[in-house]
């Protein structure tokens, strides 16, 4: 058995005072794009990983947990069969892949500003996108998502916000504000639902999750936070459904299992009625943190993640 010292180690800083280590078999690609530092590396535990600005975004072994949790609660909350979906961000194409598992989807737009990241993921991470970029229902756009939303008149049954948290002041900050979420609400169909990744849900790191949750409550009648443990992140991870109608917390496990059978092609690895009930049953300390939070994120007062 190889010793610990024989591996090259990647240390991911998850907070200013914590981190998570992965043994690296090889670095497949490393590039500095116009917007960020990106790497695709192969780890001993999780296979290929996409890393942006030093933070793991997804891994070959457990990305199904993250992407099923991100996509399906929203699409299963749409009243009737969803037809049009929008992904904001979504680099490696796995969010798009999960959306396209619904035969009712006739159009799926993905707007990711970083064309280089998408191109490298398309080349080196076929295990994740599985041909989603080549599906005839897909439209891929590389531009500022907020500017595109402001000028389009198209309406969507699902909008997924799959973006990294804003680590410094800049354009990304304006994709986590009340004004941006209002724009998203206005681009949803009357039955439309938004889902998003919303950062860590562990002790001492709830500020981002709760501030986004509180901000969305200013915009949507239904806001439901939930979580899943993502092993390669080394931490539980938060997601939020914001809906104009259906409250996913009111959907029974039996209803979720029936909708999955009716709407989705192929088996899921993580999400079902039991996982749905578990994920939306947030523990007491998180519920209390949401209730205490009074921060509203706005264009004039954006949130920067340390």
Residue 213 domain-assigned (yes or no): yes
pLDDT of 2 above 60: no
Residue 201 domain-assigned (yes or no): yes
Claim to verify: residue 21 and residue 99 sit in the same structural domain: no
Note down the domain range covering 38.
Answer: 4-59
CATH number, domain of 216, equals: 3.40.50.150
Q: What pLDDT shows up at residue 247? A: 97
Residue 162 catalytic? Answer: yes
pLDDT band at 213 (very low <50, low <70, confident <90, very high): very high
Claim to verify: residue 68 and residue 175 sit in the same structural domain: yes
Q: What pLDDT shows up at residue 212? A: 97
Claim to verify: residue 217 and residue 259 sit in the same structural domain: yes
Residue 244 domain-assigned (yes or no): yes
Claim to verify: residue 49 and residue 177 sit in the same structural domain: no
Last residue of a domain, one of 39, 59, 79: 59
pLDDT of 1 above 70: no
pLDDT of 4 above 60: no
Claim to verify: residue 24 and residue 84 sit in the same structural domain: no
Q: What pLDDT shows up at residue 173? A: 84
Claim to verify: residue 212 and residue 257 sit in the same structural domain: yes
- E strand or H helix that includes residue 226: strand 222-230
Domain count within the chain: 2
Q: Which of residues 5 and 197 earns the better pLDDT score?
A: 197
Q: What pLDDT shows up at residue 69? A: 98
pLDDT of 291 above 70: yes
Residue 131 domain-assigned (yes or no): yes
Q: What is the overall mean pLDDT for the chain?
A: 94
C-alpha closest to that of 145 among 130, 156, 129: 156
Q: What is the mean pLDDT of residues 205-219?
A: 97
C-alpha closest to that of 161 among 280, 70, 69: 70
Residue 184, φ and ψ in degrees, nearest 5: -60, -50
Q: What is the mean pLDDT of residues 102-110?
A: 98
pLDDT of 92 above 50: yes
Claim to verify: residue 163 and residue 54 sit in the same structural domain: no
Q: What pLDDT shows up at residue 98? A: 98
- Alpha carbon 53 to its chain's center: 17
Q: What is the mean pLDDT of residues 32-40?
A: 94
From 79, 112, 162, 257, active-site residue:
162
> Within a 10 A sphere around the Cβ of 133, how many other Cβ atoms?
17
Claim to verify: residue 96 and residue 196 sit in the same structural domain: yes
């Amino acid at each position: 058995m190889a010793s610990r010292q024989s591996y090259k180690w990647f240390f991911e800083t998850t907070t200013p005072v914590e981190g998570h280590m992965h043994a690296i078999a090889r670095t497949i690609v490393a590039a500095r794009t116009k917007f960020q530092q990106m790497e695709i590396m192969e780890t001993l535990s999780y296979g290929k990983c996409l890393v942006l600005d030093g933070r793991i975004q997804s891994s070959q072994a457990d990305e199904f947990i993250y992407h099923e949790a991100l996509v399906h609660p929203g699409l299963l909350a749409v009243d009737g069969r969803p037809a049009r979906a929008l992904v904001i961000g979504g680099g490696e194409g796995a969010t798009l892949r999960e959306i396209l598992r619904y035969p009712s989807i006739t159009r799926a737009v993905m707007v990711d500003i970083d064309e280089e990241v998408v191109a490298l993921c398309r080349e080196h991470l076929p295990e994740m996108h599985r041909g989603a970029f080549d599906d005839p229902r897909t439209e891929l756009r590389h531009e500022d998502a907020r500017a595109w939303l402001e000028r389009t008149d198209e309406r969507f049954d699902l909008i997924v916000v799959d973006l990294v948290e804003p680590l410094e002041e800049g354009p990304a900050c304006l994709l986590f504000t009340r004004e941006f979420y209002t724009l998203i609400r206005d681009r949803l169909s009357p039955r439309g639902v938004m889902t998003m990744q919303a950062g860590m849900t562990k002790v001492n790191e709830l500020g981002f999750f709760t501030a986004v949750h509180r901000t969305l409550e200013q915009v949507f009648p239904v806001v439901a936070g939930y979580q899943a443990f993502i092993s390669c992140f080394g931490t539980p991870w938060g997601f939020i459904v914001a809906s104009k109608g259906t409250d996913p917390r009111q959907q029974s496990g039996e209803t979720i299992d029936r909708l999955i059978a009716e709407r989705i092609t192929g088996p899921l690895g993580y999400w079902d009625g039991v996982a749905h009930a578990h994920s939306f049953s947030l523990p007491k300390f998180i519920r209390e943190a949401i209730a205490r939070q009074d921060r509203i994120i706005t264009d004039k007062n954006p949130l920067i993640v340390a």
